[in-house]
Amino acid sequence: MSGIVLLRFGESGKLQPSDALGNLDDMGTEPGITAPARVSAWTGFGRRFLQASTNGLVAPDRSGNGTLLQRDVTIQVLLSLTLAGASGAQTLIARGLNDGTAAERYAYGLELQEQANFPGFVEVRWFWQDETGAVKTQAPGVFRSPGDGVEIMLTATRRWESTSRVVVRYYVADELIAELVSPDGSLSGGTTGRTTIGARKAAGAYGRYLNGVIDELLVTDNEVSPEEIRHTWKRLTEYQPGGVETFAALTPPGSVWAQNLGNDIGKRVKIVGELLGLAVASAEELRALLLPDAAPLELVERWENICELSASPGDSLDVRRTRILSYLARDEGFQLAPLQIALAGPMALDPDRVQILEFTNTITDDFSTGIAAERWFDGGGAIWSTSRGQLQALAPAGADLRVESGATPFLLVSAEPGRLYVSARLGPGSLSTLPTDAFYGLVLHSRATNDWAWFGIVNSGGVPAVAYRTARAGSPGPFVTLDLPVTDGPSWIRIATPQRAVSIDDGRFTLSYSTTGPTTGFVDVRGPSRLGSDWSWAGLAITSLLSPVPSPIAVTFGDFVLHSGDSLRSYLWYAFREMKLAGRPDLVGADRLVKKIKPAYTYAAAISSKSVLCDDARDGLCDLGPMGAL
């Protein structure tokens, strides 16, 4: 953080207060405000602002727009209030005079007010103007007044995240009293704006005068963290008084001159003791704020450099801390539980809700839970549904399902070139309704070459038969029927390449058929010597040689198995965050963490969708392609 304005009010009563950081010119008065009197305060001297006396101060920037803060800002003030006799809102600071010009809009401001419905309770609230000039007063934090004249430390922070989201926090002492999210992210602020203290100017008239004493006031250009505020409070109330006590205790036993801190020697004792306490506080600050769980912004940047993490412009301090902690908390090796724990932070979930998706090179689907849209590619032309754990394909009478017409009534899952094994169950009860010249069974497809291969059951002129068919570059050949008995009970079919560890994808396939079970009773059938290669899709299909289809096709499938022996799926894993769950995840950070954790031979990513979602034409509009996350 960097201090922007620091008003100590320690000047002589004959001098105007000035900004210790030099960003404001000396503070003065103008018509509508009178100078506040110098009074004794906790740090030495402060200024007493009286509503009745219309006290206030105003100053232009000395540095060019040095106080113009339109994003993050923190205001910290040591003050005491006098609620007796006060009324209405009381301004601590306002950056801008709100004279109707864009140059004088409030960039930020902080005000106090005793609650009308709850006497003795005080609201503290931010205000600023948006780009239209409308004053946006924020929801307040509330605290109980400690009594008139009692000095306290008050801190308000503002974190701008977007034009529709600003996070404001309020603290008294070191205690967070409110954190609120505001939609008023359109922040204005004048390029020549002046800053007022103890009063606020609007439309040329001063008002909202403060009734209390400001001891010190600090404005910084960042959102000060709760840990920094806690440390400041401990410095003021623990370390520095402790230093004074320590130094006083070093005086000779029995001496009294150091016990009275109001006399000349005692004042020197106090000065030395305060400095001693300040040094202690610096050491304690290092201890309290060094590690990334409580590090302030500048240290978080260093931690990010150490961990080779990068932050996005809108990332809050909390998000950046969590990202670092997650990175440091990761375990070596690929273990699910530590992965979930490490990702719980950036994904804003309990660890057991972080889904780690892993894969094998075998895809099985019994359709017991419906048709997973992320997995299956529906070519259209047929209605695919599930009922009682069976996949049903339906095409109405009159439909055109011919390949020659460009119809693609299939349900495909992506396969990978190389060794292939695909099988499925057909029926039961499908043959009785299968129209003449209609087919149902397995299908392979290469989208690159527009090659097709079908293997299943065809009603060949009223005689159901096991058959296959191929198409090269979209030009289909005839169905080739095979001399095998076909029943209306369940049948199982499969297409398999040689499964040896070293295999050449030369188009050799074995077609098999069984009426016994999914793994038994298979009979290899006489197929073509070469069925084709580089099949990138496999699945289920219906089709017909006739157009239109004379009667509806209604067939069932089940027990689908696709095994790609040379698949890379085993080396993929994804950390999935269900976005329907509550929380504000940091998916960018989660993905970076995954990339850091993953073994080099794997591909991994943090994802929020199990489907590829790339609506942008730049990405090929590839929404239809499943990403293999099932």
Partner 1 sequence: MAGVSFVASSRGTFNAVGKSVTLALPALVTRGDVLVALLAHNAADAPGATPVGWTRADGLGEGADVLDIYVRMVDDNEPGAVAFSFATITSECQGALVAFRGSSPGAIREASASTAFAATATPPTASVTTQQAINLVLSIWTCSGAPALALPAGFTALDGFTTAIVAPRSMLIGIRIAGVTGPAVFPPAVAGTATTGRSFSIAVRARPPVLPAALVDIVPGNIGLIAKDTRRAR
Residues that bind partner 1 (CB under 8 A): 1-4, 6, 8, 20-21, 40-45, 76, 78, 115-118, 121, 123, 139-144, 146, 150-154, 169, 172-173, 175-180, 215-218, 220, 232, 236-237, 240-241, 261-262, 266-267, 270-271, 274-275, 277-278, 296-298
Task: Report the nearest approach of partner 1 to the CB of residue 464 (Å).
Answer: 52
What backbone torsions phi and psi does residue 7 show, to the nearest 5 degrees? -105, 115
Q: Minimal distance in Å, beta carbon 346 to partner 1?
A: 19
Q: Which is nearer to partner 1, 268 or 596 (CB)?
A: 268
Closest CB to partner 1 among 118 and 603? 118
Q: Which is nearer to partner 1, 154 or 597 (CB)?
A: 154
For tokens 């009478």, the residue is 397
Which CB, 261 or 523, lies closer to partner 1? 261
For partner 1, which is the closer residue by CB, 259 or 432? 259
Tell which residue, 374, 373, 371, has the closest CA to residue 357: 374
Around 597, how many Cα atoms within 13 Å sit in the side-chain half-sphere?
31
Nearer of residues 117 and 520 to partner 1, judged by Cβ: 117
d(CA 183, CA 447): 48
Contact assessment for residue 555 and residue 587, using Cβ atoms and an 8 Å cutoff? no
Q: Of 304 and 437, which has the nearer Cβ to partner 1?
A: 304
State the DSSP code for 328. Answer: H
Among 161, 89, 151, which Cα is nearest to 125's?
Answer: 89
What SS3 state is found at 242?
A: helix
Cis peptide bond N-terminal to 428, omega within 30: yes
CB nearer to partner 1: give 237 or 516: 237
Residue matched to tokens 């203290």? 197
Instruction: Give the shortest CB-197-to-partner 1 separation in angstroms.
Output: 15
Tokens read off for 217: 């006031």
In the complex, the smallest distance separating the C-beta of residue 427 from partner 1, rounded to whole angstroms, is 42
> Closest approach of Cβ 343 to partner 1, in Å?
19
Chain centroid to CA 428: 49
CB closer to partner 1 out of 1 and 357: 1
Residue 180 or 605: the one with the smaller Cβ distance to partner 1 is: 180
CB distance 604 to 570 below 8 Å? no
CB of 554 to partner 1, least distance (A): 37
Q: Rounded distance, CA 476 to CA 62, Å?
A: 83
DSSP state of 32: T
Query: Is the Cβ of residue 171 or residue 410 nearer to partner 1 in the bound state?
Result: 171
273 vs 418 by CB, closer to partner 1: 273
CA distances from 246 to 27, 370, 413 (A): 38, 75, 76
Write down the least CB distance from residue 221 to partner 1, Å: 10
- Which class for 110: exposed (0-12), middle (13-18), buried (19 or more C-beta within 10 A)? buried
> By C-beta, is 345 or 527 nearer to partner 1?
345
- Determine the Cα–Cα distance for residues 57 and 454; give it in Å rounded to an integer: 87
Distance of CA 262 to the CA centre of its chain: 55
Shortest separation between residue 290's beta carbon and partner 1, angstroms: 14
Do residues 468 and 528 lie in contact, with contact meaning Cβ atoms separated by under 8 Å? yes
**Encoded amino acid at 494, one letter:** R
**Least distance in Å: CB of 168 to partner 1?**
10
Amino acid at 314: G
Is the sign of the CA dihedral 217, 218, 224, 226 positive or negative?
negative
Query: Per-residue DSSP letters for 195-239?
Result: EEES-EEETTEEE----EEEEEEEEESS---HHHHHHHHHIIIII
CB of 222 to partner 1, least distance (A): 9
Q: Tell me the three state secondary structure of residue 595.
A: helix
Output the smallest distance, CB 45 to partner 1, in A: 8
Spatial separation of the C-alpha atoms in residues 75 and 108, rounded to whole Å: 10
Shortest Cβ distance from residue 43 to partner 1 (Å)? 4
Quick one: tokens of 252? 């000779």
How far is 298 from 163, CA to CA, in rounded Å?
Answer: 25
- In the complex, what is the shortest distance from the CB of residue 292 to partner 1, in angstroms, rounded to a whole number? 16
